[in-house]
Amino acid sequence: MARIITFREAVNEALLQEMERDPKVIAMGEDVIGGSGAKGEMDAWGGPFGFTKGLYGKFGDRIMDTPITESAFIGAAVGAAVCGMRPVAELMYIDFMGVCFDQIFNQAAKFKYMFGGKAETPVVIRTSIGAGLRAASHHSQSLYPIFTHIPGLKVVVPSSPYEAKGLLIQAVRDNDPVIFCEHKSLHYIQEDVPEGSYAIPFGEANIVRDGGDVTIVAFGLMVQKSMEAASKLAKEGIQCEVIDPRTTSPLDLETIVESVEKTGYLVVVDESNPRCSMAADISAQVSDQAFGSLRGPVKMVTAPHCPPPFSDVLEDLYIPSPNKITEAIRSLK
């Protein structure tokens, strides 16, 4: 029997199941309980987006509110991970990573290598990404390419509730540091999600839709947008293959290359800014490995090279839309 839940509920369930499974899993972040030290109720928020609601009641001290102190608590999560815990830290918006980037890219990412293989840092940093909420430049970016750039980090960009649950469970069980990017426009979408625990392995792309004419590679919310575009194009007789790599690092290039060898065309849809983006990265790698199979230029559908704007008119222009995807694909033929 189908059980329809939201992306938010799927993430919550994954956390709950993993915390039940392994006492080493702890959670922390700003207002992940909400209400610490205040006179009203505890678990008032259960996370800025309500993703950790109810964990406090179940696990008590294993979930911790932090002061607004990203450097300290992200660093503490990293430190606790290297000391045998499995912390899941929530950092409200990926835009805030600037203040604690050192703890992620110089510390967590490099311990294993710098220490000659002897360290493991099983930390998960959950964060929200993406535009669409009219939240302007400091709360709307899709900065996952920055983390993808760093050897030692794994980066996950789930595209649906089912994906989010399985990938988060894998992230918690994974022994490397993971940046887990939850798109804000996905929070309330619903789908059938199994109640039981399951893990989706990293580095294995999901072929969301089969098609022989053009390969679309998309991340997070862009998978949904690409599916809309693919449905439209199907009516015109263009069959798109839509691939969700799930993780930007590791990246399942093999599945992408195989698809391109079949279709001869590649469109990469990426909400991040275009320079040094996933779109640019995949374009380059496919050109390198499957140049002979390409029958046309690789198309990148991305946000433009500007910060996310505030005004609805501008923001709508900023986010890649199904229309832009279909235009890009039509331009190939």
78-107 burial, b if ≥16 CB within 10 A, otherwise e?
bbbbbeebbbbbbbbbbbbbeebbebbbeb
User: Contact between 78 and other proteins (CB under 8 A)?
Assistant: yes
65 close to 34: Cβ distance less than 8 angstroms: yes
Residues in the chain: 333
**Is the Cβ of residue 126 or residue 183 nearer to other proteins in the bound state?**
126
Residue with tokens 């839309």: 321
| Distance spanning both ends of the chain, measured CA to CA | 43
CA distance 281 to 181: 18
User: What's the gap between Cα 178 and its chain centre?
Assistant: 10
Q: Which two tokens stand for residue 31?
A: 């207002």
Contacts of 80 (CB under 8 A, 6+ apart): 26, 87, 123
CA distance 259 to 212: 8
To the nearest whole angstrom, how small is the minimum distance from the Cβ of residue 68 to other proteins? 10
27 close to 202: Cβ distance less than 8 angstroms: no
User: Contact between 66 and other proteins (CB under 8 A)?
Assistant: yes
User: Contact between 72 and other proteins (CB under 8 A)?
Assistant: yes
- The piece of 1-9, 45-53, 126-134, 198-206 that touches other proteins (CB under 8 A) is 198-206
Site string for other proteins, 88-107 (x = CB under 8 A): --------------xx--xx
| Element at 89 (helix H, strand E) | strand 86-93
User: Contact between 67 and other proteins (CB under 8 A)?
Assistant: yes
Phi, psi of 125 (to 5 degrees): -115, 110
CA distance 176 to 111: 10
**Smallest Cα–Cα separation from 179: which of 100, 123, 253?**
123
Contacts of 35 (CB under 8 A, 6+ apart): 41, 42, 43, 44, 45, 65
User: Contact between 296 and other proteins (CB under 8 A)?
Assistant: no
Q: Segment 2-41, which members bind other proteins (CB under 8 A)?
A: 24, 26
**Is the Cβ of residue 151 or residue 212 nearer to other proteins in the bound state?**
151
Q: Single out the catalytic residue among 138, 139, 149, 187.
A: 139
Site string for other proteins, 202-221 (x = CB under 8 A): xxx-----------------
To the nearest whole angstrom, how small is the minimum distance from the Cβ of residue 61 to other proteins? 8
149 is catalytic: no
- The piece of 132-140, 149-157, 276-284, 292-300 that touches other proteins (CB under 8 A) is 149-157
User: Contact between 76 and other proteins (CB under 8 A)?
Assistant: yes
User: Contact between 84 and other proteins (CB under 8 A)?
Assistant: yes
**Is the Cβ of residue 115 or residue 188 nearer to other proteins in the bound state?**
115
Site string for other proteins, 230-269 (x = CB under 8 A): --------------------x-x-----------------
Active site residues: 139
Interface contacts to other proteins, rule CB under 8 A? 24, 26, 62, 64, 66-67, 69, 71-85, 87, 102-103, 106-107, 111-120, 151-152, 154, 174-176, 201-204, 250, 252
